[in-house]
Structure 1
Amino acid sequence: MQNQFLNLTPPYSSRDQAKWFLIPAPFDASTCYRPGARFGPQAIIEASTQMELLDEELLFEPYKIGIHTTQAIEPVLDPEKMAELVREEVSKAIDQGKMVCTLGGDHSVSIGAITAFFNAFGPLNIIQFDAHLDLRESYQGSRFSHACVMRRVWDLGNPIQVGIRSFSGEELTFLKETGAKPIFAKDIFSDPQGSIDSVIKSLDKSLPTYITIDLDCLDPSVMPAVGTPEPGGMLWYTLLNFLQTIISNSNIVGFDCVELSPVPGINFPEFTAARLIYKVIGYCQKDKI
């Protein structure tokens, strides 16, 4: 079993020298439709070993900044307890001066990761790429469900939601009460550059930025292996354009990539997820190597 992203070896995978920590959080006890996200982190790590180390767009090798993959967090059944375990591990990495990518696992693991960054840095721009609002107060008896992620972190800064194309009546009421204006998937389809500009205008430049990527933000034709797929999502280069522009216009402190639920016999989704993670690290480290 491969345990280092990109199959890196020291010094590039060294805990002490690496700039980035990847923290696997193999948890899916809050999944409501198709389970399997607990297998996502390992599938991503395995797929990453088949990637080229040179970024074809940036024309440098991001791994040289150092990427250490930590031991996976031992999952528990309770989403709230799991969120606390994630918070503890991410906080340890932050205290060591590391940039952190948390690998889900279902989206509930992001609650702990975002809370850790809030505790360390104060209010954040929290940019959520997702098909769903995740703004329910509670779902299936848990306030820490994957469907409640953004509700739990809503007051931790400046939330910006991108790629939305499915939500409940309860969530619509919350939007009206708060005045929040998500960037809907249909608007991205109609005006991709205008949608990117809207996100940039919504950023509070005085705050550090955290990005949470639920892979169901992508269209199922690009990313079918997710817990709750929705038609009409973003395509690969559209998402990359968003990410590169956001990262160029803000101070990124960390991100997560969640909800990969591997499908037996189809391996391109985990490869896509691994590429996406490496892309984000590359965008963050451009001109820093």
Structure 2
Amino acid sequence: MSVRNASITNFDPNGLGISGKLFGLPFEPENSQLTILPVPWEVTVSYSSGTARGPAAILEASVQVDLFQEDIRNAWKLGISMLPLDQDIEAANNKYRFLADKYIQWLQAGSQQDQDERFAAVPEIVNGACREMNEWVYQQAKDQLEQGKLVGVLGGDHSTPLGLVQALADKNEAFGILQIDAHADLRMAYEGFEFSHASISQNFLKIPQVQRLVQVGIRDFCEQEWNLSQSDARCRLFTDSNLKEQLYKGKTWDTLCREIIADLPEQVYLSIDIDGLIPQLCPNTGTPVPGGLDYQQLMHLIKLMVTSGRKLIGFDLVEVAPGTNGGEWDANVGARILYRIANLAAVSQGKLEWA
């Protein structure tokens, strides 16, 4: 009997999960079919911090997630595991986050000229650190993809999944990105940082294989971002205000979801910034904005995308931040989103079946 089969045979999905394992499941990266890559990084966050602690918080909260899915047969048997948190990445995050934060404070205070020399080199130093992080994510993701695994990134801030998307671009000639977010993230080198969390969508569009970017729930963006979304034929923006207006006028969410999905190609990468949801579901995220999707709206959209025949080639969940007082609500919500989208991605690739 293989190690994988033995793990399945000896595990009770109705009992207590295994402490320290993602969702309490009995799988290691070696015998799982889907790998979660944690990236505890938030160097360029420009408002509240805490997202770097998201992966550890979700890991801890995930043991409380019930494994049964009423519409997916034996979902837990897929085999989901999380790679260990990398101490070097954590240390680099702490080092460069301190430097970037001081620089951002200087900008917000008016960029006093007497400090010019002190801060002149900071953007390139931070950009260099972010390039190294992106390369690390790329290599980690490439290694897992070459083993035939599905891969998802767990941030950290929204800058973290760029390396995964670049690795997927090596394996796929063309795909679209479905982004759930409160922010458009189309800024050019925000605050001087080329790989800012506020520039991830801009960086996605620099990858030739990304043929479509469909953004849903957006409700906070600058004029430059709006103009780019209207002028680039690859972009399709479904703002939160427009979606809600159509709902108020009588359109169903199912109908709106079908319109969103119609803009996506056959292969789709899913990027979920937790602040795309209503703030009640993510009160400690770095940049909360009123409005957004509720949990079941998000799940209906993703399930409908899978039932449409589209293939989820990868995904990320980012910007989950635990409360400063130790509150676990954000991590509980994040863990449940992570489990569900992992299973839906597996269904889309034939690794799991509908019940």
Do Structure 1 and Structure 2 share a fold, with TM-score over 0.5? yes
**Mapping for residues 106-125 of structure 1, pairs under 5 Å:** 106-125=157-176
Q: Which residue of 2 aligns with 1:254?
A: 314
How far apart are residue 210 of structure 1 and its match?
A: 0.7
**Mapping for residues 255-270 of structure 1, pairs under 5 Å:** 255-263=315-323, 264-270=325-331
Q: Which residue of 1 aligns with 2:80?
A: 67
Q: Which residue of 2 aligns with 1:8?
A: 25
The answer to whether the 8 Å contact 1:62/1:278 transfers is no
Larger Rg: 2
Task: Give 1 or 2: higher helix fraction.
Answer: 2
TM-score, with structure 2 as normaliser = 0.76
**Mapping for residues 80-91 of structure 1, pairs under 5 Å:** 80-91=131-142
Q: Which residue of 2 aligns with 1:195?
A: 256
How far apart are residue 257 of structure 1 and its match?
A: 0.3
TM-score, with structure 1 as normaliser = 0.92
Q: Which residue of 1 aligns with 2:218?
A: 164
In 2, distance between residues paired with 1:164 and 1:108?
17
In 1, distance between residues paired with 2:265 and 2:228?
22
In 2, distance between residues paired with 1:146 and 1:32?
9
In 2, distance between residues paired with 1:70 and 1:186?
38
Q: 1:121 to 1:3 in 2, by over 3 A?
A: farther
* Runs of at least 4 residues off by over 4 Å: none
Q: Which residue of 2 aligns with 1:177?
A: 231
Residue aligned with 2:190, SS: coil
What are the ranges of 5 or more consecutive residues in structure 1 without an aligned counterpart? none
Residues 64-90 of structure 1: CA deviation (Å, up to 9, x unaligned): 111121122432332222111111111
Residue aligned with 2:46, SS: coil
Equivalent residue letter for 2:238: I
Query: Given the alignment of the two structures, is residue 29 of structure 1 paired with residue 29 of structure 2, yes or no?
Result: no
The answer to whether the 8 Å contact 1:58/1:282 transfers is no
In 1, distance between residues paired with 2:343 and 2:265?
23
Q: Which residue of 1 aligns with 2:265?
A: 204
In 2, distance between residues paired with 1:254 and 1:284?
7
- The count of aligned residue pairs is 283
The answer to whether the 8 Å contact 2:213/2:236 transfers is no
Tell me the C-alpha RMSD between the 2 structures.
Answer: 1.8
Equivalent residue letter for 2:260: V
Percent identity reads 28
Residue aligned with 1:160, SS: strand
In 2, distance between residues paired with 1:68 and 1:221?
28
Equivalent residue letter for 1:113: L
Residue aligned with 2:221, SS: coil
In 1, distance between residues paired with 2:289 and 2:296?
18
After TM superposition, the structure 1 stretch with the greater mean CA deviation from structure 2, 196-205 or 178-187, is: 178-187
